[in-house]
Amino acid sequence: MESILEVKDLVKRYRDFTLDHVSFSLPRGCILGFIGENGAGKTTTLKLILNLIQKESGRVTLFGMDHIKEERRIKEQIGVVFDESYFHDTLSPKDIASVLRRVYPTWDDRLFDRYLGRFSLPKEKVLKEFSRGMKMKLSIASALAHKPRLLILDEATSGLDPVVRNEILDVFLEFIQDEDHSVLLSSHITSDLEKIADYIVFLHKGKVVFEEPKDDLLARYGILRCGAEVFGRLDRSEQIGYRQSQFGYEVLVKDRAAVRRRYPAAVVDAATIEDIMLFYVRGEQQ
């Protein structure tokens, strides 16, 4: 499958943190969920992709073009939304349209107005009168109105109520329907990613832990709940990490079907993306 974004061996060093040879790709027509704890390097990676900060080594290509050599052509085809609105509070949606119309050759006033209507956003009201949810919907409408081929979103749904989040997730799903558009969504709300993501990239302490199809993750991984006797018989290769409590052990296993066959009396539940991330980050190792 052809990739709309390819990141290869990306490195960025700070005094107390290193983004360490990060590699992943985003196919056309797909949504990639980018997960990891605070400080894992997600925002740093997104800024490097956008050439907002300088990489030390590695390669980034978008639409088959180098992200530095063809930066202007690339950014004309990208919509970007960060977790905070960067529009000035004294501006209205109408003012923002008049600015962005001069920035993007492909800006579409009718499309922008259509999103304003869909999101119930007043065209004349200034942003200081907008709620957080309204500001986020305005940022998304602005990102979509110049007809990008790729959306890059950093915590775009954080702090929003479930109704607004579902409304925005529907927009992302519609965006990729023609299979020529893609979405890179960094989010701590893993339940959102379970609804819409095709692939998951998990970043931990500056390194990619895995890059997997979401459905494969949810189908394979499981949480074994057992006592000391079963836990003592587990092979290290079967598990990612474990947590011990007064009631026994919870163990994240890589293949829940195989574990169920080996320990038919034990309870093995399906693992969520949040479970997988927590056990990798905070689980103990045998």
Q: Are residues 143 and 28 part of one domain? A: yes
pLDDT, residue 1, reads: 67
Q: Count how many domains the chain has.
A: 2
Report the pLDDT value the prediction gives residue 161, as an integer from 0 to 100. Answer: 82
Predicted TM-score (pTM) above 0.95: no
Are 237 and 207 members of one domain? no
187 with 254, same domain? no
Residues 55 and 185 in one domain: yes
| Number of neighbouring beta carbons within 10 Å of residue 60 | 20
Same structural domain, 225 and 209: no
Same domain, 201 and 250: no
Looking at residue 238, its pLDDT comes to 80
Amino acid 286: pLDDT = 55
- Pair (13, 148) in one structural domain: yes
pLDDT < 70: residue spans in the chain: 1, 283-286
Domain end position, chosen among 186, 214, 242: 214
pLDDT at 283: 66
Give yes or no for a contact between 206 and 39, defined as CB atoms under 8 angstroms apart: no
Residues 227, 206: one domain?
no
The domain containing residue 12 runs over which residues?
3-214
**What is the maximum span of the chain, computed from C-alpha positions, in angstroms?**
69
| Pair (241, 199) in one structural domain | no
Based on the fold, state whether residues 267 and 148 are members of the same structural domain: no
What strands lie across the sheet with 199-204, from one edge to the other?
78-81, 150-154, 182-186, 31-35, 199-204, 207-213
pLDDT of residue 83: 78
209 and 261 inside one domain = no
Q: Do 251 and 145 share a structural domain?
A: no
